[in-house]
Structure 1
């Protein structure tokens, strides 16, 4: 079944210890779709400016990603610039220009409203709520957020969380959301806010899934050289939701399997700048790494 993703398509300028990439294609919807498209068709709803080279997303179209919901507005495309510390976990935002994204108001077509799987990428919780109001009984809703929204749009975020099935969030954001440093307690408190499951991303330490009956962790796949971590979380979400949509198994067991697929896709993403690695990636490479990952997890 298809997935609807609502998020950003952007230009990223990134500097890491391994080099830099200027005005490369990025954005949460881009990374998510590049990963999820290996599992199932994806519909993107996002906005770009007239300066955006639509042909740069041709590879997504060839992977059954529908771009009819990619609005082209007068103005410049969303831009972000950042620099990573040598540990590749800490980064500094150097510049953010929302441009046309500042006036983004997703209007879903009938096709988009009926998609059974929905991923709300890291956008304003008020927009996330607007999208959910337009959907028609989706089978699964997965949501991402960040510290900016936790502090700046808390009430809107809490309202959105009452309507989603899975929240994907990093460890520091989970602690901030419920004001509890203990991650296990924090996760259980997040479940009380509405989601059936919470996935806590822990960077190089992997990710943890918590439901009312499950506590399951997967490590990060060991990548010898991490070139650019930008988009790793969205790529994880792409593998995670992509697997669930393909398998149609949203049980706790299905969520566990989805965690492995998310980790596999994130591990490829960090091997190059921007979406380059996801663009060149093959299904055979994914299958081989998945098998290696399963071997890692098996006694």
Structure 2
């Protein structure tokens, strides 16, 4: 099975307490597609401007990612500039320029439309719905989101939730969407909105998985890192690893145990991502390193 990843492709300028880098490849689709590509054949959908470095496209292609779905526009690329503070959890956004995303409507190449696993990485819910409208056949649909869409496109987001199999959201967004402070309550409330399963990302504390059965709940920690170079895109790599693993086992109707296994892969991919700026750690990654870290993660979290 293959994975289609639709989302943003961006240029990032990032500053951390230890370093500062400019002109990095960013965007939800870029990170998620890179992570997915270690497990399954992956296609990407997004838009870039005339200023987007060709070297970044070549980075995606070096992982075997099909880039035919990246539309090239005459405008400037989506741009984000941010600074992480000492604890690496809190960050300040200095500038966001939507640019080519302002009027963007995703267009799926014909060859993408029957891809079995659809990952709607973080972008406007109306664009996520546009992607789904162009898909054909039986799909397993995963969707990620963020706080701004809960506030500005809530109706579209709620419509999307009725059409996805797995909904992924972080803890602050889950509380915002469900208007509750308890994550267990939030997870159950989101399940009532349509998805078959919900994952709440809890950052350095891991993730929670909710299912429809009375005993279908799973909680795991994150992979322990001694240092974090740049956490940008970790959540996108997490969901990309999940999508890629589901495709790798040939399941467009994964069981709860399959999803638990996918979370382990997503967790490991996110951990590698945090060890460098942009996707640099993923460029240097190989399957042996993934297997070794996965084995360590299982050892760390088993009883």
TM-score range, shorter chain: over 0.9
The separation in 2 between residues aligned to 1:138 and 1:94, in whole angstroms, is 42
Aligned equivalent of 2:109:
109
Q: Does residue 246 of structure 1 match 2:248?
A: yes
Measured after TM superposition, the shift of residue 274 of structure 1 is 0.9
In structure 1, runs of 5+ residues without a counterpart are: none
The separation in 2 between residues aligned to 1:219 and 1:102, in whole angstroms, is 37
After superposition, the C-alpha distances for 1:39-87 in whole angstroms (9 at most, x for unaligned) are 0111111100111122323232232210011111001111001111211
Aligned equivalent of 1:57:
57
Aligned equivalent of 1:218:
220
The separation in 2 between residues aligned to 1:32 and 1:271, in whole angstroms, is 16
More moved, 143-152 vs 243-252: 243-252
Aligned equivalent of 1:268:
272
Helix, strand or coil at the partner of 2:21: strand
Measured after TM superposition, the shift of residue 211 of structure 1 is 0.9
The separation in 1 between residues aligned to 2:126 and 2:57, in whole angstroms, is 27
Aligned equivalent of 1:173:
173
Written as runs of structure 1 = structure 2, the 5 A alignment for 1:153-192 is 153-192=153-192
Aligned equivalent of 1:230:
232
Helix, strand or coil at the partner of 1:52: coil
Aligned equivalent of 2:35:
35
Contact 1:118–1:141 (8 Å) recurs in 2:
yes
How many residue pairs get aligned? The number is 299
Contact 1:118–1:138 (8 Å) recurs in 2:
no
Measured after TM superposition, the shift of residue 138 of structure 1 is 3.6
The separation in 2 between residues aligned to 1:137 and 1:159, in whole angstroms, is 20
The separation in 2 between residues aligned to 1:58 and 1:41, in whole angstroms, is 16
Aligned equivalent of 1:11:
11
In structure 2, runs of 5+ residues without a counterpart are: none
More moved, 223-232 vs 48-57: 48-57
Aligned equivalent of 1:286:
290
Measured after TM superposition, the shift of residue 131 of structure 1 is 1.0
After superposition, the C-alpha distances for 1:101-142 in whole angstroms (9 at most, x for unaligned) are 212111112211111100111111111111111111343100
Contact 1:115–1:138 (8 Å) recurs in 2:
no
Q: Does residue 297 of structure 1 match 2:293?
A: no
Alpha carbons of structure 1 residues 138 and 91: separation in structure 2 relative to 1, 3 Å: farther
Aligned equivalent of 1:132:
132
Helix, strand or coil at the partner of 2:102: helix
Aligned equivalent of 1:144:
144
| TM-score, with structure 1 as normaliser | 0.98
After superposition, the C-alpha distances for 1:248-277 in whole angstroms (9 at most, x for unaligned) are 241101000001000000000000111111
The separation in 1 between residues aligned to 2:97 and 2:171, in whole angstroms, is 26
Aligned equivalent of 2:123:
123
Measured after TM superposition, the shift of residue 238 of structure 1 is 1.1
The separation in 2 between residues aligned to 1:183 and 1:62, in whole angstroms, is 39
Contact 1:37–1:60 (8 Å) recurs in 2:
no
Helix, strand or coil at the partner of 1:103: coil
Measured after TM superposition, the shift of residue 283 of structure 1 is 1.1
